[in-house]
């Protein structure tokens, strides 16, 4: 069984059907790129995967366990939903960095907040063991200090990975778009998601800044990270992907190896789409 | 009467004004936030009810509301209801007017909660949805997203209208003297009627100094928050 399996995802907004039965599967360590014209439902699919939207229909399984099944007749609690979201990371087109935090804190904020939850759990456990108040306190402090150090170290490593160690104290408004997006990638990585999703990570950038972001994503590919990338950068998709998926009008029109998809398209829609892209690039 | 004695009298009145101002903020700010959430609620009846309340409170004069709060409960209950006397025991707080003070405080707090709620709502709604979504995909709870991500950005955005509204509140407190709260305005008009024309200008100076200090304070906070763009 595949690492991630999506079956028959359907999603409508009002009367507009945006996803009309998406089936997608991928293996661990694979990179899948999603291409397709504007409005074909790429963003909606990523949002469904990340539990920002709830599909009307469908099943999603990750690593052998069912994360979503429209047949189940109960609603996930807020807490369960949060835990499920943590399986995935999402890098937005418009970065969405937190403007009031510097680069370091943008990356370490979420892990630090999660640590608070963990501390509460630990406290409960220790109390159940009927330890003395003092003992509980020292144990918790020990754990906290240790975890904090780990978060700090992780953050420094991520900063190095995105090549922004010297910008750790800068605020988002002091960074270029490319630097912002690199920070956003590090921020998503800080929670160690099983699958990292990108929604047109370079579309909001000036052309001369796309390279630095794509380079970071390529380095993640070299680490065998599992990624789903919605992109309009055909050249990049070709090099980085194990599989390219072409979406049109809410369905997956064609999918396959990058070379086949880009050089030997079968469906008319994909041919037309690729033709349009190459014309744009030729301008 | 000499300058010192009059200054003393105005100072006493000013303490009441200051107290009314501060207590109004203490109650109306959290209440306003609560009302803001109600007017943004997904639950339609709650949302509509509170939008209606806010509309009425902003659409009628504050002085009318003060009269309603102070007189109507007593009139409706044939004098059964009396605003309670607060036994503060503070030397500078005239016990005989404290029932009036309490009524004024209630009226101000409700009225300003309505105004603040609109400012808060505007501020919260102006924050890019992407900020909330970024928090969600990072596994944050709703309250973490509000307090750790959204709030400071809202504060920064609403600082200018909040500054205006707060300064208006300073001046609005003078309406309390219409139900006999012995505030700065009350003390000044007392002396005016005694023939001391200059006292009314002197009182104006008190207000001016107070609003001036507030402007400086807001300017300071604005500068403190200028390290980021939101
Ligand atoms: N929240 C929403 N409410 C209503 N319609 C929506 C909503 N989100 C998306 N849509 C519609 O769904 C369709 C698909 O949108 P989506 O953003 O998924 O496309 P996309 O493939 O990501 O396009 P693009 O390349 O422009 O980003 C569009 O027609 C859009 O107008
Ligand atoms: Mg999109």
| Prediction ipTM score | 0.92
**Banded pLDDT at A241 (limits 50, 70, 90):** very high
Matching residue, tokens 């012995």: B182
Chain A residues in contact with B128 by the CB 8 A cut-off are 96
Write down which residue in A170, A197, A213 finishes a domain: A170
On whether both A158 and A181 belong to a single domain, the answer is no
pLDDT tens per residue across span A67-83:
999 888 778 888 999 99
Q: Where does B22-181 sit in CATH, by number?
A: 1.10.3720.10
Distance between CA atoms of residues A68 and A57, nearest Å: 10
Residue B95 has pLDDT above 50, yes or no: no
- Please state, for a pLDDT cut of 70, what percent of chain B lies above it: 94
Residue A147 has pLDDT above 80, yes or no: yes
Q: Which of B41, B40, B228 is nearest to B152 (CA)?
A: B228
Q: Name, in order, each residue with C-beta under 8 angstroms of A61's C-beta and a sequence gap of 6 or more.
A: A1, A4, A5, A67
Average predicted confidence (pLDDT) for chain A: 94
Q: What is the dihedral of CA A141, A146, A149, A155, to 10 degrees?
A: -110
On whether both A161 and A176 belong to a single domain, the answer is no
Q: What is the CATH number of the domain that holds A214?
A: 3.40.50.300
Residue A255 three-state SS:
strand
pLDDT of residue B89: 53
pLDDT of residue A73: 74
User: What is the CA(A45)–ligand 2 centre distance, in A?
Assistant: 9
Residues A106 and A183 sit within 8 Å (Cβ to Cβ): yes
On whether both A37 and A139 belong to a single domain, the answer is no
Chain A residues in contact with B230 by the CB 8 A cut-off are 99-100
CB distance B140–A110 less than 8 Å? yes
For residue A73, what are the domain limits? 4-99+171-280
Ligand 1 pocket, residue A43 CB under 6 Å: yes
Write down which residue in A114, A135, A170 finishes a domain: A170
The pLDDT of A60-67, averaged and rounded, is 94
Residues B226 and A171 sit within 8 Å (Cβ to Cβ): no
Matching residue, tokens 């928090």: B135
How much is the pTM?
A: 0.88
pLDDT of residue B75: 85
* Domain extent listing, chain B: 22-181
User: What is the CA(A199)–ligand 2 centre distance, in A?
Assistant: 7
On whether both A191 and A83 belong to a single domain, the answer is yes
Reading the block at residue A261, the tokens are 């998809």
Long-range (24+ apart) CB contacts under 8 A made by B10-13 are B10/B184, B10/B187, B10/B188, B10/B191, B10/B199, B10/B202, B10/B203, B10/B206, B12/B92, B12/B182, B12/B187, B13/B182, B13/B183, B13/B184, B13/B185, B13/B186, B13/B187, B13/B188, B13/B203
- The helix, strand and coil proportions of chain B, stated in percent and rounded to the nearest 5, come to 80, 0, 20
**Banded pLDDT at A262 (limits 50, 70, 90):** very high
CA atoms within 13 A on the CB side of B36: 20
**DSSP for residue A193:** -
On whether both A245 and A179 belong to a single domain, the answer is yes
Q: Which of residues 200-259 of A touch B (CB under 8 A)?
A: none
Q: What is the dihedral of CA B66, B67, B68, B69, to 10 degrees?
A: 50
CA distance B41 to chain A (A): 18
| CA-proximal residue: ligand 1, atom 1 (nearest) | A13
Residue of B nearest to A91 (CA): B134
CA distance B134 to chain A (A): 6
Chain A residues in contact with B156 by the CB 8 A cut-off are 100
Q: What is the dihedral of CA B170, B175, B181, B182, to 10 degrees?
A: 60
State how many domains chain A has.
2
Q: Which atom of ligand 1 is nearest to the CA of A36?
A: 21
Q: Name, in order, each residue with C-beta under 8 angstroms of A70's C-beta and a sequence gap of 6 or more.
A: A55, A56, A57, A58, A59
Residues B156 and B230 sit within 8 Å (Cβ to Cβ): yes
Distance between CA atoms of residues A127 and A121, nearest Å: 10
Q: Is the dihedral of CA A260, A265, A269, A273 positive or negative?
A: positive
Distance between CA atoms of residues B174 and B184, nearest Å: 7
Matching residue, tokens 């804190």: A105
On whether both A116 and A237 belong to a single domain, the answer is no
Q: ∠ CA A104-A109-A114 to the nearest 5 degrees?
A: 145
**Banded pLDDT at A230 (limits 50, 70, 90):** very high
Residue B196 has pLDDT above 50, yes or no: yes
CB distance B133–A85 less than 8 Å? no
On whether both A87 and A104 belong to a single domain, the answer is no
On whether both A151 and A68 belong to a single domain, the answer is no
Write down which residue in A154, A170, A186 finishes a domain: A170
């Amino acid at each position: 069984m595949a690492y991630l399996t999506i079956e028959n995802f359907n999603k409508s907004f009002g009367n507009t059907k945006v996803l009309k039965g998406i089936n997608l599967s991928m293996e661990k360590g694979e990179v899948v790129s999603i291409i397709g014209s504007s409005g074909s439902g790429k963003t909606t699919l990523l949002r469904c995967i990340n539990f920002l939207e709830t599909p009307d229909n469908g099943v999603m399984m990750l690593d052998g366990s069912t994360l979503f099944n429209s047949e189940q007749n109960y609603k996930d609690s807020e807490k369960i939903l949060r835990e499920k979201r943590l399986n995935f990371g999402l890098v937005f087109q418009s970065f969405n960095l937190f403007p009031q935090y510097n680069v370091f804190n943008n990356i370490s904020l979420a892990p630090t907040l999660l640590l608070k939850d963990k501390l509460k759990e630990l406290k409960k456990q220790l109390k159940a063991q009927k330890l003395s108040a003092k003992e509980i306190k020292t144990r918790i402090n020990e754990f906290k200090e240790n975890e904090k150090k780990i978060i700090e170290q992780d953050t420094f490593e991520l900063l190095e990975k995105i090549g922004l160690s010297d910008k750790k104290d800068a605020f988002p408004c002091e960074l270029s778009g490319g630097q912002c997006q690199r920070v956003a990638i590090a921020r998503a990585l800080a929670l160690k998601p099983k699958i990292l999703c990108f929604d047109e990570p370079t579309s909001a950038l000036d052309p001369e800044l796309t390279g630095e972001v794509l380079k970071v994503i390529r380095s993640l590919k070299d680490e065998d990270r599992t990624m789903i990338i919605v992109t309009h950068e055909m050249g990049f998709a070709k090099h980085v992907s194990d599989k390219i998926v072409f979406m049109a009008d809410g369905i997956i029109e064609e999918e396959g190896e990058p070379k086949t998809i880009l050089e030997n398209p079968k469906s008319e829609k994909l041919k037309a789409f690729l033709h349009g892209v190459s014309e744009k690039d030729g301008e | 009467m000499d300058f010192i004695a009059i200054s003393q009298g105005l100072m006493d009145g000013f303490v009441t004004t200051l107290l009314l101002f501060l207590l109004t903020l203490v109650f109306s700010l959290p209440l306003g936030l609560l009302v803001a959430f109600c007017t943004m609620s997904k639950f339609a009846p709650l949302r509509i009810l509170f939008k209606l309340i806010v509309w009425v409170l902003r659409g009628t004069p504050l002085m009318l509301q003060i009269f309603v709060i102070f007189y109507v409960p007593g009139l409706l209950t044939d004098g059964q209801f009396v605003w309670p006397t607060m036994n503060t025991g503070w030397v500078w707080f005239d016990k005989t007017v404290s029932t009036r003070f309490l009524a004024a405080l209630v009226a101000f707090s409700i009225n300003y909660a309505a105004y603040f709620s609109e400012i808060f709502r505007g501020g919260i709604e102006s924050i890019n949805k992407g900020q909330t979504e970024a928090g969600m995909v990072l596994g944050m709870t709703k309250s973490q997203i509000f307090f750790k991500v959204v709030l400071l950005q809202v504060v920064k955005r609403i600082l200018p209208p909040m500054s205006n509204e707060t300064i208006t509140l300073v001046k609005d407190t003078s309406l309390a003297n219409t139900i006999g709260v012995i505030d700065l305005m009350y003390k000044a008009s007392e002396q005016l009627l005694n023939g001391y024309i200059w006292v009314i200008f002197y009182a104006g100076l008190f207000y001016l100094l107070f609003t001036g200090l507030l402007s400086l304070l807001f300017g300071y906070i604005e500068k403190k928050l200028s390290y980021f763009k939101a």
